[in-house]
């Protein structure tokens, strides 16, 4: 059974999927509009060509109009990843510290939860619960542990450029790649903490 944090995160990721769907529809519209401008409505074949662009997947392409959607998706994904890390930390702290500290809220309120989800910040956060390296042993197919740290670094750099107004191009492929990576990371962090907390407390936290 997943944690409440993971369940909430996976639900919120549907917002990213909505932006990706909007990306596809907007691209279809612009390709159809371009076909309409180039071909006109002069005959039935031309009209069918325009409608084809409206009803079929758009394929590769990144006109300026979809850049805002891609950048918004990266910024939103960063916020959701940070929210997941904070939620998972709070849920884990509750399972480990309840009955052992006078105020659980005081502990979680002073934890460094308001930082970007870099690998170092995430490690620092969970180290406050006694986990020396929350990323230790975490990897998956085509993403080694070393690559994971690099992807987090690159992702945060991209996010910072976007929110600080740096001129940069972001493709839909970049968005879907990071969406897949952070879904996989969340699932593995969730599973690792479930095992680790079971070792500490003698029962599964979720």
Question: What pLDDT is attached to residue 53?
Answer: 40
Between 27 and 147, where is the model more confident?
A: 147
Tens digits of residue pLDDT in 66-87:
778 889 999 999 999 999 999 9
User: Could you tell me the residue ranges of all domains in the chain?
Assistant: 4-201
Q: What burial class does residue 71 get, using C-beta atoms within 10 Å of its C-beta: 0-12 exposed, 13-18 middle, 19+ buried?
A: buried
State residue 106's pLDDT score: 80
pLDDT in tens, 39-59: 554 443 444 443 444 334 445
pLDDT(102) > 90: no
> What is the model's pLDDT at position 93?
95
Q: Between residues 29 and 93, which one has the greater pLDDT?
A: 93
Confidence label for 31 from pLDDT (cuts 50, 70 and 90):
low
Closest by CA to 2, choosing from 84, 109, 101, is 84
């Amino acid at each position: 059974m997943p944690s409440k944090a993971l369940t909430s995160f996976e639900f919120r990721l549907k917002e990213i999927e909505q932006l990706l769907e909007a990306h596809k529809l907007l691209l279809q519209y612009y390709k159809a509009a371009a076909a309409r401008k180039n071909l006109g409505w002069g005959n039935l074949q031309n009209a069918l060509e325009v409608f084809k662009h409206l009803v079929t997947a758009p394929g590769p392409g990144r006109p300026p109009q979809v850049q805002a959607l891609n950048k918004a998706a990266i910024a939103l994904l960063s916020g959701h990843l940070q929210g997941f890390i904070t939620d998972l930390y709070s849920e884990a702290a509750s399972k480990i510290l309840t009955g052992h500290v006078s105020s659980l809220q005081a502990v979680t309120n002073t934890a460094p939860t308001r930082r970007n989800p870099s690998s170092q910040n995430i490690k620092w956060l969970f180290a406050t619960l006694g986990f020396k390296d929350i990323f230790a042993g975490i990897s998956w197919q085509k993403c080694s542990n070393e690559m994971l740290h690099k992807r987090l670094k690159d992702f945060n750099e991209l996010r910072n450029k976007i929110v600080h107004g740096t001129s940069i191009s972001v493709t839909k492929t970049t968005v879907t790649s990071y969406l897949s990576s952070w879904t996989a990371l969340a699932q593995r962090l969730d599973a690792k903490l479930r095992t680790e907390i079971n070792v500490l407390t003698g029962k599964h936290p979720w």
